[in-house]
Amino acid sequence: MSTTRIAVLLTAALTLTACGQSDTPTDKPAVAQGGSEFGQAGEKSAGFGTDAKPGQFPRTIKHALGETTLEKRPERVVVLDGGELDNVVALGIKPVGVAFPDGAPTMPSYVGDKAGTPENVGGITSLNLETIAKLQPDLIIGSQLRAEQQYPKLSEIAPTVFAARPGYTWKENFRLNAAALDKTAEAEKLITDYETHAKQVGENIEQKAGKRPTVTMLRFMPGRTRLYAKKSFIGTILIDAGIPQPQASQADDLAVEVSTEQIAQADADWILIGTYGDQTKTAQDQVLGGPLWQTLSAVKAGHAKPVADETWFLGLGVLAAEKVLNDLEQTLTSS
């Protein structure tokens, strides 16, 4: 695929991203953000959830910022991030309020109308507490990493349950949200179905491609260029599908940041490319138009392709993960 063709397709993907969740300044590499505090990818957050039986209320939920008691099954739910949005929609719930990225108050395209028409309650990093209160929610769900400072005020509005962080802990966040919503069985089935699908996708790719090709997840962002690693949403999906990443992406972290001069570290059998934010403020054009890019084996083979950033990098839930698996199989088995 030519550099011009990649740039055109990335621009199209960027248009979709503008409708997705924001990768906020708090989304730093996991170790820098204290990722080791929350365990390895896929590891259960110790003590989070509930001992309540199905249908039992009141129930007490243990979460990242303490314990919250729910007197009845929640019906009016406000979600404060993309992962929580994905989680409730996957469980058949239409939230009454959603926090979107600052400056991009639009439902992600992969969610579409399945979320209904929730009220915009401000940006992920700029919540509108007055709007949230007017919605009279009976549950607010979010994460410590995103909104810890707002937790006391949110708890005064409604019972509030916070995961530790969004991202690579998405399965455990899903379980936590499901416990609060009395939908644990449904969540476990969705996770099991996803994991079965992931294994099948890995096997299908190996059968059709003749091997399990290495994949680099390259992402252009304003001010930084990243190779996404193990402790990322997409990193967990590749692990579950048994799709290897090259050595440069094997860090026990969210991502590895590279300069334009270090772009050779991105080389693999396939390079899948996301773009977030204002494309003109990223190094995308500089990298894709540079001489080093043309020397990469994936580029020479026509195996450098854009992907939808809002799903592959920002989905943070089982609905997005299933969409990524479908896209991954189609891409890696294409000519």
Same domain as 201, residue 186: no
pLDDT at 39 > cutoff 90? no
> How many domains is the chain partitioned into structurally?
2
pLDDT digits (tens, 9 = 90+) for 298-330: 999 999 999 999 999 988 999 999 999 999 999
Quick one: pLDDT at residue 334? Answer: 86
Residue 8: predicted pLDDT = 47
3-state secondary structure (DSSP) of residue 1: coil
Q: In 87-238, which ranges are E strands?
A: 97-100, 119-123, 126-127, 139-143, 160-163, 215-221, 224-228
**Average pLDDT value for residue range 123-136:** 95
Task: Locate 291 and state its tokens.
Answer: 């001489």
Structural domain ending residue among the three candidates 190, 215, 244? 190
Which residues 6+ apart lie within 8 Å of 311 measured at CB?
A: 20, 108, 110, 320, 323, 324, 327
Is residue 175 included in any domain, yes or no? yes
Locate 77 and state its tokens.
Answer: 């739910």
Pair 109, 226 in one domain: no
- Residue 269 near residue 303 (C-beta atoms within 8 A): yes
Q: Residue range 52-71: average pLDDT?
A: 98
Residues 174 and 59 in one domain: yes
Residue at 275: amino acid letter: T
Please give the residue range of the domain that contains residue 83.
43-190
- Residue 186 and residue 57 share a domain: yes
pLDDT value, residue 41: 34
pLDDT digits (tens, 9 = 90+) for 237-269: 999 999 999 999 999 999 999 999 999 999 999
Residue 36 counted as domain residue? no
Same domain membership, residue 81 and residue 154: yes
pLDDT per position as a tens digit, 89-126: 999 999 999 998 654 568 999 999 999 999 999 988 89
55 in any annotated domain: yes
Residue 57 in domain? yes
Q: Please compute, for residue 220, the number of CA atoms within 13 A of its CA located in the half-sphere on the CB side.
A: 27
- Is 37 inside a domain boundary? no
Task: Tell me which of 156, 171, 190 is where a domain ends.
Answer: 190
Each residue's pLDDT tens digit, 201-243: 999 999 999 999 999 999 999 999 999 999 999 999 999 999 9
**Is 308 in the same domain as 203?**
yes
d(CA 262, CA 218): 12
Residue 90 belongs to domain with CATH number: 3.40.50.1980
Over range 30-50, report the average pLDDT.
46
pLDDT at 124: 87
Is 227 in the same domain as 161?
A: no
Q: Which of 147, 174, 190 is the last residue of a domain?
A: 190
